[in-house]
Amino acid sequence: MWRRDANQSLKQRPRLGLALSGGAARGAAHVGVLKVFREQGIRVDCVAGTSAGALVAGAFASGMELEELEQIARDMRWRDFGRMTLSKLGVQSNARMEMYIRERFPVTRFEELPVPFAAVATDLHTGTPVVMRDEGDVAFAIRASCALPGWYLPVVDEHGRQLVDGGLVANLPTAAARSLGADVVVAVDVNHDGAKFLGAPTSIIGVLLQSIVLMQRTSVVHQRQLADVCLSPRVGHIRWDEMTRADEFIAAGEESARAALQTASPPTGSPSGANSERATGNSFAHKVTLWSDFVVNPPTLWSSLLRRQARKSNG
């Protein structure tokens, strides 16, 4: 269990957390980001996910090899997760998703995960986020986080709550990643590139879809601000339901992560004074430098985090 076997080095450097957004088939882009992290030797200490992001995050946290996760992303289809139902609460039940996860994940209990993980769902009655972590059934948590309302039936938990897709309230789960103890949060937002394939709406359905996209992007603005670094794979030209284009999604995730690392360059000089700190500390390149280099140079990141905390304290 990760609580007992935490590496001693964690006490000597900040904890890096990932926040993986929802986005249906676009969630395969998260796999590409994880591949680049591994290539660069960047260690992830905790991970939170919403909807499709919860599926990828849960698989990673369970100890699944990235090669297997990548193959799953290529092979999975919508029929693997849902089956038709006669219920008035949804078109399909996603109970199959639990079985799919149990058959493939190395472990399916939160208590046994080698990497701390949180999945975010929505309480349909109160409209508040439900963060599942620490103990319980991982497969159930991911299924609830992925229960798209109107299509999949709500998932009822042990407290009698009807849970649906976490994307309604926290499509980019930066707060959940922070709650796991992350000092630095890297968010991957697979919806930030929009829906370029839609064009100008020409029907009521088109107006509805465009409105949902705009509403979600507006709500995610605050969640992006809570992250230290945001990656936005360029997948806006591909629909959310196109699972057969997993290779393109994965490549986009890799490109996004590599571009961020290539853009990063060490801050020049040692800023002195609040104004110069704000000028360098808030740049994207500076933030990426923090999380990409902290494995080999933890004191640099620690000092940067302390400076950032001082800026917050000083307003």
Q: Which of 123, 137, 165, 183 is catalytic?
A: 165
Active site residue 165: yes
- With CA atoms as reference, report the closest residue to 132 among 106, 108, 96, 152: 108
Q: Which residues of 171-186 are buried (b: 16+ CB within 10 A; e: fewer)?
A: bbbbbbbbbbebbbbb
Contact yes or no for 101/91 (Cβ under 8 A): no
Active site residue 189: no
Contact yes or no for 46/181 (Cβ under 8 A): yes
User: Phi-psi region for residue 74, left (φ > 0), alpha (ψ -120 to 50) or beta?
Assistant: alpha
What tokens appear for 170 in the block? 């926290």
Three-class SS of residue 102?
Answer: helix
C-alpha gyration radius of the chain: 19
Three-class SS of residue 223?
Answer: helix
Spatial neighbors of 122 by CB under 8 A, at least 6 apart, are: 128, 129, 130, 163, 164, 165, 166, 167, 168, 169
Three-class SS of residue 175?
Answer: helix
Q: Which of 21, 45, 51, 93 is catalytic?
A: 51
CA-CA distances (angstroms) from residue 71 to 75, 86, 247, 295?
Answer: 6, 33, 10, 28
- Active site amino acids: 51, 165
